[in-house]
Structures are given as C-alpha cells and as structure tokens.
Chain A
C-alpha cells in the first residue's frame, strides 16, 4: 500500500516517511500558498478543502521526522495563516516544530515552560496538554508524564488516544495491571477495534509471563489473553498479530498442560479444555503458514502485511516445527 498524505503518518516505516517528505516541494508548490479570506477572491480561486489542511499537517509531521525542517516550517506558516495563532491544534504544531528545533535539553525545558504557561491560561487545551505529556516522556520524565496523563483523563475520560498512551507508559514501567486497566478503557471507547483487542492480549501475555505472576493469576491472565486474541481474529480474519499471539499462548499452554490446576471460577474466564487449545493451536499454525505463503508470493489481496511481522511469524513457525521434530525423535 503506497503511503498517502491523507492518513496520519505515525505508523509509517522510515522509508515510507521519507518518501512522503520528499513530496514536500511538489505539494508546497502546487497548492495555493494562502487561501484568501476575502469572499470575492474566494469565488475565483480554487476552493479549499479539508483534505488540503490534512495534507499540510501530515506533511509537516513527515518532514519533521525526516529532518526537513525548512519544508515543515513552510507547512506551519500556511496553517497559521489559515487558522490563526490561537487555534489549539495549531499551537500544538508550533510547539512540535520548536521541540524539533531544540538542540539540547535546556531548550526543551523552555518549550516545556511555554506549554505550562499556555495551560495556565487555558486548562482545557487538550492538544497542548498532550504535547506536554509527550515531551515529558521523551525527556525521560515518565512519572511526571503519567501523573499529567492521569490528570488529563480525570477531566476527559472519553479520550481513547490518551488511554492508550497511558497503557503504553505503564507497560514501559512494567506495571501490568494498570496497563491492562487503561487498555480496557480504550476498548470501552472502541469496542470493535481488533488491534486493541490483540494489543490487550499481548499485554496480558506479558503480565502472565512476568516474574511476579504465579498460580491462579497466571492462569487468569493466560485465559484472558487467549480469549482476547481469539476475539481479535473473530473481528478481523487474517489478522497476523492475532494469530501470532494465539499461537504463542496455545503453545505455551500446551507445554504446561500437565501442571495447570483445574480452576472453577465464577467470573467466566476459565481456560478451555486441552482439546480446544490444541485445535486452536492447529488453526493458528495453519493460518499463519497460509498468510506467510501468500504474503511471500505477493498474491493479490495479501500484500498489506508488514514484512517484519511476517518474518517473525515465520521464525516462530520454524521454531515450533523443529521442536516438534525433536520430540518425535
């Protein structure tokens, strides 16, 4: 899939981001530099569309990422000319460019101070709040970032982006139960997001394999991880990460099936019986190899997979088969 300027570039690979930012001169030249506010000239010039501004925003992000600060500043100038200095979104972009310009930590501190000043004047400026949190995080002050996020989520608990950032922060600190809680909040806001289901499954799996977890809580985590991965596949067939996680969980469970205690819990998260786990494992293996085969052959309709993810899946499968052959011998 070719990268498009109409989608936010946060998930792109470095190569794709570079490709986008190399379009900058063409885009900057071809689009009108300013859209006049006078209604009479607006009648005769090309009409402005929301897509144009989305393009500028994404181009700005890509350019900053690839170090083309000149083009980024041009984009910013046009955005400011259109929406004014006071727009919350634009303020966040301005801060972002300043952050990119900063040479050392002292300058970043200045930017941080500016953010705090803005927030003192207007404490519901969510884009700036988020920028401040991201800056705190990138400066390594994770506890501050967490407390700022918790504060943001206290007055705006319907912000899925903030919840998932919080989950990520907690996860980076190894606080699994908190990360799981935050991820569940994301699911409340987007109950059909299969990627979030799979991500929650991954966090649960990490929580289960962390050194602290043992006995009943281990089984509970594994059971829920299994179910989360299954749900993500149910929502999106051919979801590579979902199958990968399912394969991991079931393989692990099968290895330990002897020492798993029978549990009878009332909250509905019981591990399925060994037979079901085995069948799930087979399903995941078959589907993974199918995805790998089609994706390597570049078949029609199978091209969207990330090459890195496919490679990892292949590794997992070959490990698995070598282990199986060892047992047979």
Chain B
C-alpha cells in the first residue's frame, strides 16, 4: 500500500517509460545485427563469437548510459550506473540488450560467416 501511495504522490508517466525502453530496444536490436556482421566477417566461432556479442552489447549499453543517461541523472543525485531516472528496472536496462538482440545477432552472424567462409 505504501509503495502504491508513493507512486500516486510522485507518479510515473507510462508513455514516457515506454518511449524510453522502445528507444533502447531499437538501438540494441539494430546494433546486435551489426555485431553479427562483424563477428561473421571476423570469422569468430562458438564461444568467442558469443563472447564478442556479450562484450559488444554491454559496451553499447555502457555508451548509451554515458552519453544519454549520465549527463542528466548524475546531477539529479543518482548514484553512478543508476539508470532509474529513465528506466523502471536496473536489471532490464543493463542486460535486456542481450536478450533483445540475440536472434538478430545469430542471423547475421550465420549469414556473414557463411558468406565469408564458404
């Protein structure tokens, strides 16, 4: 009850949150496909390919945080790496990209791996 009350006192605008996560989702799925192209051309196989994907998508999220979130969220008193000013769940912000882009990554990875190493 108390948390519901807090939410009513300082409301969260649903549309804005949706817009934020949609922006992030679009960025992540597009970059994931591009990482797939990169991994395919580099000829990475099995674990190194997935590792490449994890590192790159975390790097994207990190860049997104540094360039878009941090400039306004740090002065407003949030701790570093805290994206709660714009996103509902921390976990989703930092790891959601891994799930969102995986299918696109595998597709382009396979395609370009096949094209280059035919």
Interface of chain B: mostly helix, strand, loop or mixed: loop
CB-defined interface of B1-20 with A at 8 Å, one 1/0 digit per residue?
A: 00000001111010000000
Bound: A235/B11 CA distance, A: 8
Q: Are A192 and B9 in contact (CB under 8 A)?
A: no
Q: Which residues of chain A (196-247) have a CB below 8 Å from chain B?
A: 234-235
Bound: A158/B23 CA distance, A: 31
Bound: A234/B11 CA distance, A: 11
Residues of B with C-beta under 8 A to A235: 11
Q: Are A191 and B11 in contact (CB under 8 A)?
A: yes
**Range, interface on chain A:** under 10
Residues of A with C-beta under 8 A to B8: 191
Closest Cβ of chain A: how far from B45's Cβ, in Å? 42
Closest Cβ of chain B: how far from A273's Cβ, in Å? 22
Q: Which residue of A lies closest to B11 (CB)?
A: A192
Bound: A235/B13 CA distance, A: 12
Bound: A72/B37 CA distance, A: 52
Closest Cβ of chain A: how far from B8's Cβ, in Å? 8
Number of residues of chain B lying within 8 A (CB) of chain A? 5
Bound: A192/B10 CA distance, A: 9
Bound: A228/B103 CA distance, A: 51
Bound: A234/B13 CA distance, A: 15
CB-defined interface of A168-204 with B at 8 Å, one 1/0 digit per residue?
A: 0000000000000000000000011000000000000
Closest Cβ of chain A: how far from B72's Cβ, in Å? 12
Residues of A with C-beta under 8 A to B10: 234
Bound: A71/B1 CA distance, A: 56
Bound: A64/B38 CA distance, A: 56
Bound: A299/B13 CA distance, A: 28
Closest Cβ of chain A: how far from B89's Cβ, in Å? 22
Closest Cβ of chain B: how far from A101's Cβ, in Å? 39
Q: Which residues of chain B (13-64) have a CB below 8 Å from chain A?
A: 13
Closest Cβ of chain B: how far from A143's Cβ, in Å? 38
Bound: A191/B9 CA distance, A: 10
Residues of A with C-beta under 8 A to B11: 191-192, 235
CB-defined interface of A145-178 with B at 8 Å, one 1/0 digit per residue?
A: 0000000000000000000000000000000000
Residues of B with C-beta under 8 A to A192: 11, 13
Bound: A196/B31 CA distance, A: 42
Bound: A234/B6 CA distance, A: 13
Q: Which residue of B lies closest to A192 (CB)?
A: B11
Bound: A199/B11 CA distance, A: 19
Bound: A191/B13 CA distance, A: 11
Q: Which residue of B lies closest to A231 (CB)?
A: B9
Closest Cβ of chain A: how far from B5's Cβ, in Å? 13
Bound: A235/B9 CA distance, A: 8
Residues of A with C-beta under 8 A to B9: 234
Q: Which residue of A lies closest to B12 (CB)?
A: A192
Closest Cβ of chain B: how far from A247's Cβ, in Å? 23
Bound: A235/B8 CA distance, A: 11
Residues of A with C-beta under 8 A to B13: 192
Residues of B with C-beta under 8 A to A234: 9-10
Bound: A191/B12 CA distance, A: 12
Which of A191, A192, A234 gathers most chain B CB within 10 Å? A192
Bound: A311/B14 CA distance, A: 36
CB-defined interface of B71-100 with A at 8 Å, one 1/0 digit per residue?
A: 000000000000000000000000000000
Bound: A296/B117 CA distance, A: 67
Closest Cβ of chain B: how far from A238's Cβ, in Å? 14
The 7 sampled A-B contact pairs (Cβ below 8 Å) are A191-B8, A191-B11, A192-B11, A192-B13, A234-B9, A234-B10, A235-B11
Closest 4 CB pairs of A and B: A192-B11, A192-B13, A234-B9, A191-B11
